[in-house]
Amino acid sequence: MQRKLSACGDPIHAPSALAELFRSCFHPSSDSLVLRHVLQAELLRWTIKRAATQTRYYSRPIYRESIAVSPGAEPQLHCWPVITRKDVIENLTDMHAEGVTFGAICHTSGCTGSALSVYKSAEELSFIWDYQTQLLAPVLAQLDSRPLVLSMPNLYHGTPVSVPSIGKVFVAGVTDDLLLSDVVSLLRQRLKIAGHEERFSIITCLVHQMLFLTYYLLEHGIDPREFDIKSINIVGGYLTRRGREYLHNAWGAMIFDRFSLTESAGGATRCHECDFFHLDPHIIGEVLDTDTDEVLSEGVGRLVLTQLYPFVQMQPFVRYDTGDLVRLVKNNCHPAFTFEFAGKEKNCISWRYCGKTEWLILSVALNELLDPIPDFQRVEQFRGVHSSTDPSVGSLPIYTLTKSTPAPDSLLITLTAALRYSPHFYAERTNELKSIIRKGLIVSHPTLATRIAQKLVDLEVVFVGPGMLKDVHVLKI
């Protein structure tokens, strides 16, 4: 297989062949895993070869090191350094490839760090379009008519790469009263477009938009199930278990939860069987130990992704630290790279104990705990909406999570959360909430429980009234 791929020449000229091969990688079999590794190894060879000759950054001697590749085995990339968002920003020009045509800039906001621009070549954009078209071809061949898709993008979150859709895409929004009324009108319309269904059957949008749209409809006495939506595609944020159940129950639709980032030419999809994320096969994923950068075979670590040629060309990302913590999962569902999202590293609490980093609080577990509690003040995501009594639905609770060292070899973790009311007037309720949160965090974080029992770590929960939390709070889990 490796020799056949090598004989094909530059893979940018083979979108159809690559689509057919990668399509086989989605099957849950050991053969698909071997195929995945063979494809990754061949495209990695092209990635490094072109990056080393076309960019100043990757022309450094370290990238002349050859990786260990056994036939059919997973490529081992540890001989190359890990790069961070800071590295990319400081070396942006040196990372740009020569000999390609500028096509577009994808911008990602600074909610997970400094704002970053990702440059795309016309060649890679054309390849991605052709590849995705070929990947969708078997699906389209089975459709009697193509679906209508309602998309609600948010350019402040991150500018996506345009890819073909299985249906006709209409753009809408939920950030003000006019857009909301237009969404309802669109969902109720029957359109006459040759070769397409008459009504919308797919919605794709950000997490907080979908949660708020659902609440808006229910508040106005509109049953979301009347629209007969078949699937809801969620991107751009963490959707809690409660949120997934809420959307599924309200719409009666399949919820497709995607993990993605602007820096990556792909992402991962939450599996309906195992409930974990499976990484797309055209990306190489690693989970690294926080202290040593060693590749982990299990447990919580930093998610590092390598983008492969020809999916990424103008601005290569080799071993890019995403800033995310994940728990690497080994299960019988699928041989693909599988993980559980644990949270943004900067939003989690760690400390050094006996020379090793321990993760005491993971932001996903914290938000799973806080999400069902209605007492918290929420971020004003929809301040332009006046036709809803509670435009905070779908937004995150307002809180900060900090740590301090009141004494040597000790740690104080402080969770400060803003309530919808004065905590002093409802002392009994706030004491109850403190107990719920403290017990919930200890149960979900065994290491935290152990260190508290040893009196090495203490956990403090503080409540303030509406608008009283002046510190910068968490904007993304």
Nearest CA-CA partner of 6 in 17, 122, 16: 17
> CA dist 138 to 16, 23, 143, 474, Å?
12, 10, 9, 42
Which residues, in sequence order, are CB contacts of 351 under 8 Å at separation 6+?
357, 358, 360, 403, 411, 457
DSSP character at residue 276 = S
Q: Would you state the pLDDT for residue 1?
A: 56
DSSP character at residue 410 = -
Two tokens at 417?
């959360």
Average pLDDT, 10 consecutive residues per value, the chain (477 residues): 63 93 88 92 95 97 83 88 96 96 85 81 96 95 95 69 90 94 96 96 95 97 98 94 97 97 94 96 97 94 98 98 95 90 96 95 98 94 90 92 92 97 96 98 98 98 94 83
Two tokens at 424?
């002093």
Nearest CA-CA partner of 228 in 196, 255, 253, 198: 253
Domain positions in the chain are 1-343, 348-464
Q: Would you state the pLDDT for residue 113?
A: 63
| CATH node for 1-343 | 3.40.50.12780
Please spell the DSSP secondary structure of 208-244, one letter per residue: HHHHHHHHHHHHTT--GGGG---EEEEESS---HHHH
Residues 279, 258 contacting (CB under 8 angstroms): no
What gap in Å lies between CA 437 and CA 451, rounded to an integer?
17
Residues 372, 425 contacting (CB under 8 angstroms): no
> CA dist 66 to 77, 80, 374, Å?
9, 9, 54
Q: Would you state the pLDDT for residue 404?
A: 96
What gap in Å lies between CA 313 and CA 51, rounded to an integer?
8
